[in-house]
Structure 1
Amino acid sequence: MSGADGTRRVRVAAVRGDGIGPEVLDAALPVIARAAAADGVTLDVTDLDWGGDRLLRTGHAMPDDAIDVVRAHDAILFGAIGHPQVDPDVSVWTLVLPLRKGLQLYANLRPIVGWPGVATPAREGAEVDLLVVRENTEGEYAGIGGRVHQGTPDEVATEVAVHSRRAIERIARCGFGHARERGQTLTLATKSNVARHGYGLWDEVVAELGEREFPDVPREQAYVDALATRMVARPESLGVVLCSNLFGDILSDLGAPFAGGLGMAPSANVAPGVDVPGFFEPVHGSAPDIAGQGIANPTAAVLSGAMLLRDVGCPGAADALERAVGTALRDGGARTRDLGGTATTTQAAAAVADALDAPA
């Protein structure tokens, strides 16, 4: 969409959310907008008061027409979700998952990158640059199950995992595409030695698709428990990790320390090939214990903004923003307390902005 002056405009719905969410978005959004402006793009930001406070006030975390509201935008940027007065499952099932499912954002992309100047558990010399590609609509998070005989000794709970050929194939195609683009091996996280029905289907579909459409992309499969060990011991040996919903959630958090922690972990919820807005969010939670103190790390929100810019067709701005993050971390200005530094939330974001403005 272009304005009257010919400037390209990108409509962003901003959900600041709970806890540190407003702080990290307030710090990150101006930096993201500055990167976009340098690439000739203006961000039109609409603030949405969705989250725990709205849920407590109205009984609904978001309005009934929420899907229509976000469809009127090009992208959605989240701060954090999770209110201390709301059960965690309620926060997830009244906002995040309904948006993912309602928009059919079937791919959750979580990059894990080692940054200069940031201490990580990786052994000296190890370079970490991997991408977790997670199926985002099915698996153990399908919401099928229930409890009977509650409160009695005979209580039973069921949680049914759903794995469909269609969903596996579309996320596998996404994973193969990223592996081809990055020149890396695709590693399938599986557990078909025990969960032979659901994960057996994953093994079959990924192998068939690889042979049929991606014969040039190296692929392997690994049992998820062995893969977790490998990620800890040799993270540099991994490229694109293709996962079910549950496995992707766990492995991406396990890998976050190699980027410096959850405060450094961005993510994208997207539907490649489908005309719907993606939503982009830091992997970290709302951290109510430090909310309002101005010490939260805004980097994951900034990097989520870079993923947003790339998704809406601004790769130059995205690249510039990521380079600026690297410079600010290396020089120390963006290192908040969780990274061993002293920068506040606003100071860290300002350091990235300064690096963005510095001559190349």
Structure 2
Amino acid sequence: MPLIAVLPGDGIGPEVTTQARRVLEALNLDLQFEEAPVGGAGYLASGVPLPPETLALAKRADGVLFGAVGDPRFEALERRLRPEAALLALRRELGLFVNLRPATLFPGLEDASPLKPEVVDGLDIVIVRELIGDVYFGEKGRRTTQEGLRQGYDWMSYDEAEVERIAIVGFEMAKRRKRKLCSVDKANVLETSQLWRDVVNEVAVRYPEVALTHMYVDNAAMQLVRRPADFDVIVTGNLFGDILSDQASMCAGSIGMLPSASLADWSGANGMYEPIHGSAPDIAGQGKANPCAAILSAAMLLRHSLGEEACALRIEAAVAKALEAGARTPDLGGSLTTSEMGDAVLSALT
């Protein structure tokens, strides 16, 4: 019996993961669910954002359904005790170096995008983001300069092996789609990015069937607004991927629509699946959160960790059907509550 670790976390995390779990349970796949605290909830439970019991559960689970972390009540804590430290630690401990973030415009949501319908029409992107390197995991700290000024620093770095393995994922993903890969960097300024570009070019020799292009991150941000449908697969580093995937979410209508999968390899073992929207403490507990990203993350869990492609497609089709029928949460200009949106997806599923 497959074990799914449910880590609801903070803010709207518990609300959206509840709806995702309802959808998974409706498929009658004989799944076992076990829940544990993480983030601010983990700190309140045990004094650390990632309790040892939570990490142990994540390691033995077949897949992790993650909500969100972040709570303004804990912003004054030292960095290692803040809720966000739990997410970084889970990625590191599980070796989740691949982050897949699809951005698709569902039929009926053309008006929800801030872009003109003719600009956003056909949007279907996958951003392959490297997840356990870059400035997020590099040396960081504060020091005093010779002039007596406070200075903060964060070390950005990648070695060639780290770039090679994420580039391979990007090429493999592109090979399965439209055979177009755009590598995003800042090689005109950053030595880290120049190495990135050099290694991606070296890997490209193994994939002659994939058309590779390179783009500086500032230009990529502009083109995502100007002609988003021109992109197919984007591969990029941790920092740039974090920013561009949030931007892509708004092209698709709402950050509440984008799921993600974090993987250690293509097998999906111990994969972690989460909506990209964060904890949104300003609307927590109000029933305003859009659960679609969490539900679509559950579909990715079925696809990548459990090999249940047919069930994953059923969930994605149910979300599309509910949206096409007019089901909308406030972020999409509607009035359905979180649970009502879950009801709409469940109705479409059955």
Name the amino acid aligned to 2:37: D
| Residues 81, 91 of structure 1: 8 Å contact kept | no
Task: Return the match for 2:321 from 321, 327, 330.
Answer: 327
Mapped contact 1:327–1:355 kept (Cα < 8 A): yes
Structure 1 position 106 matched with structure 2 position 97 = yes
Aligned residue among 10, 16, 27 for 2:8: 16
Give 1:272's aligned residue.
265
Give me the whole-angstrom Cα distance separating, in 1, the residues matched to 2:254 and 2:278. Answer: 12
Aligned residue number for residue 60 of structure 1: 48
Q: How does 1:132-151 map to 2 (within 5 A)?
A: 132-149=127-144
Q: Match of 2:38?
A: 50
Range that drifts further, 131-140 or 53-62: 53-62
1:199, 1:84 → 2: CA distance?
34
The whole-number CA distance in structure 2 between the counterparts of 1:57 and 1:75 is: 23
Q: For 2:296 and 2:133, locate their aligned partners in 1 and report how far apart those are by CA, in whole Å.
A: 26
Give the drift of 1:274: 6.0
* CA–CA separation in structure 1 for the residues paired with 2:21 and 2:113: 27
Residue identity in the other structure for 2:323: L
2:174 to 179, 192, 206: 179
Shift of 1:66: 4.2
Q: Does 1:223 align with 2:216?
A: yes
Where does residue 240 of structure 2 map in the other structure?
247
Q: Match of 2:283? A: 290
Residue pair 2:130, 2:241 contacting (<8 A) in 1 also: yes
For structure 1, list consecutive stretches of 5 or more residues without a partner in the other structure: 1-8
1:87-131 CA deviation, whole Å, 9 max, x = no partner?
A: 295545531000101111000111000011112134334210000
Aligned residue identity for 1:55: Y
Name 2:183's counterpart in structure 1. 188
* Runs of 5+ unmatched residues, structure 2: none
Given that 2:255 and 2:277 are in contact with CA atoms closer than 8 Å, whether structure 1 keeps it comes out as yes
Map of 1:3 onto structure 2: none
The answer on whether the counterparts of 1:53 and 1:83 sit within 8 Å (CA) in structure 2 is no
In structure 1, how many angstroms separate the alpha carbons of the residues matched to 2:199 and 2:45?
46
SS at match of 2:334: coil
How many Å separate the matches in 2 of 1:240 and 1:250? Answer: 16
Residue in 1 that maps onto 2:192 = 198
Counterpart of 1:139, as a letter, is D
Give the conservation status (yes or no) of the 8 Å contact 1:296–1:336: yes
The answer as to whether partners of 2:38 and 2:54 remain within 8 angstroms in 1 is no
CA contact (8 A) 2:138 2:157 kept: no
The alignment's C-alpha RMSD in Å is: 1.7
Q: Distance in 2 between matches of 1:239 and 1:67?
A: 34
Q: Which moved more, 1:84-93 or 1:303-312?
A: 84-93
Tell me whether 1:352 sits opposite 2:345 in the alignment: yes
- Displacement after TM superposition at 1:262 (Å): 1.0
Structure 1 residue 265: deviation in Å? Answer: 1.1
Identity of aligned pairs, percent?
Answer: 40
The equivalent of 2:61 in structure 1 is 73
Q: Please tell me whether the aligned partners of residues 71 and 276 of structure 1 are also in contact (alpha carbons under 8 angstroms).
A: no
1:94 matches 2:85? yes
Contact 2:38 2:69 in 1 (8 A): no
Structure 1 CA distance for aligned equivalents of residues 45 and 347 of structure 2: 39
Which residue matches 1:5?
none
Q: Whole-Å Cα distance in 2 between the matches of residues 135 and 20 of structure 1?
A: 26
Q: Separation in 1 of the partners of 2:268 and 2:64?
A: 14
TM-score, normalised with respect to structure 1: 0.91
Could you tell me whether the CA contact under 8 Å between 2:37 and 2:45 is conserved in 1?
no
Task: Judge conservation of contact 2:123–2:228 (CA < 8 Å) in 1.
Answer: yes
Within 2, Cα distance between the matches of 1:328 and 1:281? 21
CA contact (8 A) 2:70 2:84 kept: no
Aligned match for 1:263, one of 256, 262, 268: 256
Amino acid at match of 1:201: L
Give me the TM-score of the superposition, normalised by structure 2.
0.93
- Equivalent pairs, count: 341
Q: Aligned AA for 2:193?
A: Y
Partner residue, 1:301 = 294
Distance 1:82 1:115 in 2: 28
Could you tell me how far 1:295 is from its partner in structure 2? 1.6
In terms of mean alpha carbon deviation, does 320-329 or 114-123 score higher?
Answer: 114-123
Cα deviation for residue 292 of structure 1 reads 1.1
1:303-324 deviation line (CA, Å, top 9, x unaligned): 1101111012001000110011
How has the CA–CA distance of structure 1 residues 49 and 66 changed in structure 2, closer, same or farther, with 3 Å as cutoff? closer
